[in-house]
Amino acid sequence: MGGVGGVDLVTLARLGIGRFHIADPDVFAIANVNRQYGAMRSTLGRLKVEVMAGIVRDINPEAEVRVFREAITPNNASAFLDGVDVFVDGIDAFEIDARRLLFRVAQSKGIFGLGAGPVGFSTVWVIFHPKGLSFDEYFDIHDGMDPVEKFAAYVVGMAPRATQRQYMDLAYLDFQQRCGPSTALACHLAGGVVGAEVLKILLRRGPLSAAPFFHQFDAYLGRFIRKRLWWGNRHPLQRLKRRCLVNFLRRKSLHT
């Protein structure tokens, strides 16, 4: 229910969707105010799920919102996705294993999964069909990888074309502190594309390009990209990008 998740939720609520399962163990802090929908002076220190559930019910008093106040783990992932039609990933970019868990459970239940991430002044997204490529297959992630390798695989797989590199300074990406540059502009772009893709899934209308397709819309550069990523993150060029990012993150951690 943070930067992207909160915007996703409100976008879907205003589109008329009336049943949600939302999860977040965190509270709003001053650092969230630049981009997170529910982060305001009046909500600092309050649980994000409670604030966002209240906003949805204020929009639609008949909405049904099931709140999970704890982190999603193997113990509650199945319950979180019970009765769900679409899983929308709003998880922190650094939480790769929680993301892998939920996409795996969603696919086992025959549920579509998707998530759009804010990257610079753009948004990137990949859709996972329950009968298509899995999250781990597309991103080429497995249990034997360390956290830096998993994070690099996720970032490079979400944005293979990386249009944001023309103007983004990677010096602000800090794996040790689990933080990076982010803007409300990109979070709202992400919420918009999530709303469009979810409606197409629920109404079974319009074109749907699931993995190995990836998407990026860069509002700053005025560019939209939708391409098939042959072999997913196992493509030789993707492997090279992943290695470069891993080396960058490890070198940076040695000097901090």
Residue with tokens 């997170």: 36
Query: Are residues 119 and 207 both part of a single domain?
Result: yes
Domain boundary, last residue among 54, 71, 88: 71
Domain boundary, last residue among 71, 91, 106: 71
Tell me the CA distances in angstroms from 25 to 1, 78, 215, one per residue in order: 9, 17, 30
Could you tell me the residue range of the domain that residue 16 belongs to?
1-71
Query: Are residues 161 and 232 both part of a single domain?
Result: yes
Report H helices in the chain. Answer: 3-14, 48-59, 77-81, 96-108, 135-139, 147-158, 184-203, 236-254
Contact 190, 7 (CB under 8 A): yes
Query: Are residues 135 and 118 both part of a single domain?
Result: yes
Please state, in angstroms and rounded to a whole number, the distance separating the CA atoms of residues 170 and 5: 24
Contact 210, 127 (CB under 8 A): yes
Residue 252: CB atoms within 10 A of its CB come to 15
Q: What is the pLDDT of residues 196-214, one digit of tens each?
A: 999 999 999 999 999 999 9
Query: Are residues 106 and 44 both part of a single domain?
Result: no
Q: What is the pLDDT of residues 70-113, one digit of tens each?
A: 999 999 999 999 999 999 999 999 999 999 999 999 999 999 99
Query: Are residues 153 and 50 both part of a single domain?
Result: no
Query: Are residues 36 and 56 both part of a single domain?
Result: yes
pLDDT in tens, the chain (256 residues): 998 999 999 999 999 999 999 999 999 999 999 999 999 999 999 999 999 999 999 999 999 999 999 999 999 999 999 999 999 999 999 999 999 999 999 999 999 999 999 999 999 999 999 999 999 999 999 999 999 999 999 999 999 999 999 999 888 888 888 888 888 999 999 999 999 999 999 999 999 999 999 999 999 999 999 999 999 999 999 999 999 999 999 998 776 5
Query: Are residues 153 and 38 both part of a single domain?
Result: no
Query: Are residues 12 and 119 both part of a single domain?
Result: no
Q: Which residues contact 248 (CB under 8 A, 6 or more apart)?
A: 170
Please state, in angstroms and rounded to a whole number, the distance separating the CA atoms of residues 203 and 181: 35
Domain boundary, last residue among 45, 71, 97: 71
Residue 42: CB atoms within 10 A of its CB come to 9
> Which two tokens mark 146?
């360390």
Q: Which CATH number fits the domain that encloses residue 135?
A: 3.40.50
The domain total for the chain is 2
Please state, in angstroms and rounded to a whole number, the distance separating the CA atoms of residues 250 and 166: 22
Q: Which CATH number fits the domain that encloses residue 24?
A: 3.50.50.80
Helix (H) or strand (E) holding 228: strand 223-228
Please state, in angstroms and rounded to a whole number, the distance separating the CA atoms of residues 67 and 50: 8
Query: Are residues 186 and 131 both part of a single domain?
Result: yes
Query: Are residues 220 and 126 both part of a single domain?
Result: yes
Map 46-79 to HEC letters: CEHHHHHHHHHHHHCCCCEEEEECCCCCCCCHHH
Q: Give the HSE-up count for residue 79: Cα atoms under 13 Å, Cβ half-sphere.
A: 11
Query: Are residues 129 and 10 both part of a single domain?
Result: no
